[in-house]
Amino acid sequence: MTDETAPILLDVLALSQALIRCNSVTPADDGAQDVLIAALAPLGFVAQDYTVENIRNTVLTLTRSGGDAAQPHPHLCFAGHTDVVPTGDVAQWTHAPFAAEIEDGVLYGRGVCDMKTGITAFCAAVSEFLAARGGDFKGTISFLITGDEEAQALHGTKAVLQMLKAEGRIADAYLVGEPTNPKAAGDEIKVGRRGSLSGVLHVQGRQGHVAYPERADNPLPKLLGLAAALDNTVFDEGNQFFPPTNLEFTSIDTGNTADNVIPERAQARFNVRFNDKWSAATLEERIRAILDTTGHSYTLETFSNAESFLTPEGSWTKIVSGAVEVVTGRRPELSTKGGTSDARFVAAYAPVVEYGLINTSAHQTDEYMPVAALYEGVKIYREILERFFAK
């Protein structure tokens, strides 16, 4: 940026509306990432396409020398997703989900909470940061934007990080812009997440008439015994950052619709959210050991796409929590609550924390965000940038 060039300041509200108007329900992009590319290109960001299996992913990068030789470090990467969940019954919305309407100081639309405004707030914060520094600083700012977070998350952040690792382009720290605040800015930053393990427990029996139970083998009592053994287990007591590991059954099914037939087979589905005392592998081993104590025959299928992780308190967590506190006047809780996010993939490569806007209406009908929260988010992200590149 030369002295004759006016600084470029992005309008967070206008950019948010443009992004929300993209019908980017997973796996569609509908031009969402083009909106970001168009906004960030005038700031000097170079966009690279990392499409995988028809999932659009974009990495945008800006490196400045700070007056010295070209220097890519320190490198801060903002990670986020432009895909959104389906709207459900559109007739139930009082504001069209992709119209980005504003009423009484509130912006409505699918993805406005999770997490398009988090992305646009960081974009606007970067524009202010660059303007204040005459366009120059020492290091790299990048965006890793995926279109696969709300789906299976196989071809988005996870895949792109593998490619960036091979290219030697992993950042020094990552900020994931998921909406982290339950009620107001400054509530929480996420420094970790629980892992997730899903299981399907099968018991084989022999079908028969209920009037002749001696000719059948009812699998349900056995399945219930197996389920009770898991349900009665205390896996751990939790720790400073994580609640106790928790197993919940989500369905029991036989496929049987008759009340005079003993079913041939039965199955139960469950999910475990586990803390950092376990890995998916060690947890599965423990579950099988518990089931074996019952003496019942069973088969067990498991699936996990999320290990637990914790970013230890250090310089990066202090930068983020300090920035939040100076803007909001509130010291945020260092939290591991909630479901999974793409931060679980990032944690294998570099320190990662999550901080975004307000999470009150994520995935709901009439998803919304107070306009004031957008501008507050810009201030917090700007402060994070200032502190990170002051190192």
- From 29, 83, 276, 367, active-site residue: 83
- From 114, 149, 178, 367, active-site residue: 149
* Kind plus residue range of the DSSP H or E element containing 150: none
11 classed as catalytic: no
Q: Residue 211 burial by CB count (10 A; 0-12/13-18/19+): exposed, middle or buried?
A: exposed
* Kind plus residue range of the DSSP H or E element containing 140: strand 138-146
Closest to 61 (Cα-Cα) out of 40, 45, 76, 81:
45
Closest to 276 (Cα-Cα) out of 240, 247, 303:
240
354 classed as catalytic: no
Q: Phi and psi (nearest 5°) for 49?
A: -90, 130
- What residues contact 89, with CB distance under 8 A and at least 6 apart? 365
Look up tokens 């104590």; give the residue. 293
Q: Assess contact for 302 and 199: CB atoms under 8 A.
A: yes
* Kind plus residue range of the DSSP H or E element containing 86: none
Q: Assess contact for 362 and 113: CB atoms under 8 A.
A: yes
Q: Assess contact for 95 and 101: CB atoms under 8 A.
A: yes
* Measured CA angle at 364 (ends 358, 369), to 5 deg: 35
d(CA 307, CA 302): 14
Tokens at 3, concatenated: 């002295």
d(CA 341, CA 153): 9
Q: Map 296-351 to HEC letters.
A: CCCEEEEEEEECCEECCCCHHHHHHHHHHHHHHCCCCEEECCCCCCCHHHHCCCCC
Q: Which residues are catalytic?
A: 83, 149
